[in-house]
Structure 1
Amino acid sequence: MPDPAGEIAARIGDWRARTDAALQRALDTAAGGEPRLDAAMRHAVLLGGKRMRPLLVHATAAAFGATPAQADAPAVAIELVHAYSLVHDDLPAMDDDALRRGQPTVHVAFDEATAILAGDALQTLAFSVLAEAPLAAETRLAMVARLASASGALGMCGGQAIDLAATGGGGARDISGLERLHALKTGALLRAAVALGALAADVDAATRARLDEFATALGLAFQIRDDLLDIEGDSATLGKTAGKDVAQDKATFPALIGADASRARLSELASRMREALAPFGDAAAPLAELGRQAIERDH
């Protein structure tokens, strides 16, 4: 008998392997400079990770008829931006963490200056990958603009700034402020991943809007799950330091509304994701599965 769940898992596994190979090739194109910098970049990118963002690119593109080759460059680019953000997020001036993906963070494995440069180099490499992608010029330009918007002051970096201001009892201590923080810091790149996949498939505006409804709910759900794992998980499973949010008095959903209410919010967001994808039927099944994994993951 057919095994739809097994087929979806196999497709996601294929996309993950394809992304890992493409990331390796992208890093190879940047090799040949200073060896320590090259090693730090590889440490940041190639030592594991959920690959949620590139998987969202591939799943969205595939749902609307794009080939894996058309999704490769945006998938790699968004993962490189994500990796750079983690390198900088872990720095002593930011979240000051020593563990990432079960390994020493880049500034611990190397040094702070090298970590800063590695993050900078990964970010510029991301846009080089998009600029040189084998896609139509107008598609490449749209992808560059979308990723830049999601990464900058009105996206991920802006969210990180709000998060830093909120740490230790600062702002973002109500639901609306917290949702804005997470919509920028975490949600912007997740929404961009789905948008890049949609651009690869050249979908219409109405479809892009519905996909963005899914991605917006996913972005918030992803962060709420992160907040819960910080208080419920352990460092070995998480691959990063557990309990950091409480120790640093960060603005989180469990801190603001409690763990039970946070889980209830996750359930609401899961329903919103399903409703957004419903018109697309079986074609969107891998997207729906990635949404489920984001909510039920243990790391």
Structure 2
Amino acid sequence: MTRTINELKSMIDDYLSDHLAADVDQDTLYSSMRYSLMAGGKRLRPALTLATVEMFGKSVDEDVMHAATALELLHTYSLIHDDLPAMDDDDLRRGKPTNHCRFGAGMATLAGDGLLTLAFQWVSDNNLPVAIRAELTLALAQAAGPAGMVAGQARDIEGEGQQLSLDQLRYLHRQKTGALLRYAVLAGGIITGQPQPIKAALADFGAQFGLAFQIYDDLMDVLGTTAQMGKAVHKDAGEHKNTYPGLLGTAGAEEQLHRALQAARDAQVRLGELTGRSFAGYDQFLAYFKL
């Protein structure tokens, strides 16, 4: 039976807290890395991996945890760098001062660098079969790198002050946010050795979930509060960011959110048909999107 998101989050929090120090060899760098890594957060990405593993009937052991939580290291690096003065110049993240406000831009940059490289150490330094480790490493590099998340960030920077089309905006967010969430679900299929058609369906669910996540985040920048989000809100319009509400209005963005969620549910049904297994464990993740 699949654990709840809260149970998975608790497992992930404990694992990160217990294992980070062993691989960091500088006190201030460790403090900076830990500050952002343990600042809270939903842990949705590694939780999706672990839930997927469990839905395929594999137990979550030390090796699976090491590989799965690597994604949270990488996600945290992206947040630290995204908050830097040269990027979004944010002062608040998860209800706390951002890393560069606490440790300075130089140390924050290094903390992000450390988390990024440590992610690839963790995803490869475990006792999963060699072929699985290699596939995970390649898939994570593709999701996070210059054809994935980093490309999306570059498109976001270049798009400021321009009016992107809906297709352009969707492509930007497929890379910027969706690529890591797609990987999170796919990784569960890689770890459990699924055949290609099933991995494709997993990747489709993850991609649609990732698109919904970004649309929801755009909407909450308009509809939410700083207390709810743990970061500054109502910034996107002032900074001329390309967002779904900015392009389509709130109602149009909500329609796009519902479409992405329906596409994710369709992929969830297809997974059940392909495998004969229940993927009801994804329902709790889809319930995240409440306006």
Number of the residue aligned with 2:41: 49
CA distance in 2, matches of 1:239, 1:198: 32
Q: Alignment partner of 1:76: what SS?
A: helix
Counterpart code for 1:59? A
CA distance in 1, matches of 2:146, 2:214: 19
| 2:121 maps to 1:128 | yes
| CA RMSD of superposed structures (Å) | 1.5
Matches within 5 A, 1:1-299: 11-31=4-24, 33-69=25-61, 70-167=63-160, 169-170=161-162, 173-279=164-270, 280=272, 283-293=278-288, 295-296=289-290
Gaps of 5+ in 1: 1-6
Counterpart code for 1:250? K
Give CA-to-partner distance per residue, 1:142-184, whole Å, 9 cap, x none.
11111011110000001000001112x136x101110110000
TM-score, with structure 1 as normaliser: 0.92
Deviates more, 1:266-275 or 1:37-46: 266-275
Following TM superposition, by how much is the alpha carbon of 1:282 offset from its aligned partner in structure 2, in angstroms?
6.5
Gaps of 5+ in 2: none
Percent of pairs with identical residues: 38
CA distance in 1, matches of 2:84, 2:67: 26
Counterpart code for 2:16? L
Following TM superposition, by how much is the alpha carbon of 1:25 offset from its aligned partner in structure 2, in angstroms?
2.9
Give CA-to-partner distance per residue, 1:222-250, whole Å, 9 cap, x none.
00000000011111111000111112110
Q: Alignment partner of 2:287: what SS?
A: helix
8 A contact 1:191–1:215 mirrored in 2? yes
8 A contact 2:4–2:284 mirrored in 1? no
8 A contact 2:151–2:175 mirrored in 1? yes
CA distance in 1, matches of 2:124, 2:199: 22
Q: Alignment partner of 1:245: what SS?
A: coil
CA distance in 1, matches of 2:11, 2:42: 14
Following TM superposition, by how much is the alpha carbon of 1:75 offset from its aligned partner in structure 2, in angstroms?
1.9
CA distance in 1, matches of 2:66, 2:189: 13
Following TM superposition, by how much is the alpha carbon of 1:71 offset from its aligned partner in structure 2, in angstroms?
3.0
Counterpart code for 2:56? F
